[in-house]
Amino acid sequence: AQKITQTQPGMFVQEKEAVTLDCTYDTSDPSYGLFWYKQPSSGEMIFLIYQGSYDQQNATEGRYSLNFQKARKSANLVISASQLGDSAMYFCAMRESNNAGNMLTFGGGTRLMVKP
Amino acid sequence: DVKVTQSSRYLVKRTGEKVFLECVQDMDHENMFWYRQDPGLGLRLIYFSYDVKMKEKGDIPEGYSVSREKKERFSLILESASTNQTSMYLCASSLASTGTGELFFGEGSRLTVL
């Protein structure tokens, strides 16, 4: 079974609007962490935001926020006020506490395209 | 500035050739990883290492091997390259114990096997 599912292969958003990228996960581990990474066309993976399973509040980092719904096992990324530079691939990932070496499991990714 | 450096951004190899992908990190991280990225499949873990000379198989180790002789260097080896190993390869590293377990990535090596 897929541990991380991103159901939107591609999305368009108008510049300056907000956009939500979906991520659902599957784990029986009570302690886990959820990550979002951005990959521009240049290829490097840029860490955006992290949410721990025991964190009481949704994580925020500037224009990025993570809508964490634990009961639904979802960890959607919200980008506010989209910019042209937000056009990229976005990956959701999970680390489970029993993962040796802190390995992350990644979803298939969502390609976001920001329209001017 | 922290850095993970992959030796080659682009490689073209022939079927059957032996291929070495090198990765060096300057952050004194214990953990190092090799992922493969394919469209629609995201990143899949090939191998990882949590210490010098230690290695663990990931989800797709077949056709690959790794070497970690020094803490800062983690090499991915394709003993006999095949066309289905054409892909983007990403190296990453992380601390053994940290608040988040964030991975730091290199810029990737795009391998084409003809």
pLDDT tens per residue, range A3-36: 999 999 999 999 999 999 999 999 999 989 999 9
Given an 8 Å threshold on Cβ–Cβ distance, is A42 in contact with B107? yes
On chain B, the residues whose CB falls within 8 A of the CB of A91 are 42-43
Query: Do β-strands A88-96 and A32-39 pair in parallel, antiparallel, or remain unpaired?
Result: antiparallel
Query: Do β-strands B109-113 and B10-13 pair in parallel, antiparallel, or remain unpaired?
Result: parallel
Q: What is the pLDDT of residues A47-93, one digit of tens each?
A: 999 999 999 899 999 999 999 999 999 999 999 999 999 999 999 99
Q: Residue A101 phi/psi, 5° resolution?
A: 70, 15
| Residue count of chain B | 114
Q: Is the pLDDT of residue B99 over 70?
A: no
Q: Are A39 and A90 in contact (CB under 8 A)?
A: yes
Nearest CA in chain B to A38: B105
On chain B, the residues whose CB falls within 8 A of the CB of A61 are none
Q: For residue A1, what pLDDT is reported?
A: 63
Strand ranges for chain B from DSSP E: 4-6, 10-13, 19-25, 31-38, 42-49, 56-57, 65-70, 73-78, 87-94, 104-105, 109-113
SS3 B7: coil
**CA–CA dist A64, B76 (Å, integer):** 34
Q: Are A75 and A25 in contact (CB under 8 A)?
A: yes
Tell me the shortest Cα–Cα distance from A57 to chain B, in angstroms. 15
Q: Which of B35, B36, B43 to mutate to test the interface with A (most CBs of A within 10 A)?
A: B43
**CA–CA dist B93, A87 (Å, integer):** 25
Q: What is the pLDDT of residues B20-58, one digit of tens each?
A: 999 999 989 999 999 999 988 999 999 999 989 899 999
Q: For residue B40, what pLDDT is reported?
A: 86
Q: Is B79 on the interface with A (CB under 8 A)?
A: no
Q: Is B100 on the interface with A (CB under 8 A)?
A: yes
Q: Is the pLDDT of residue A97 over 90?
A: no
On chain B, the residues whose CB falls within 8 A of the CB of A106 are 35, 42-44
Facing residue for B107 by CB, picked from A9, A44, A93: A44
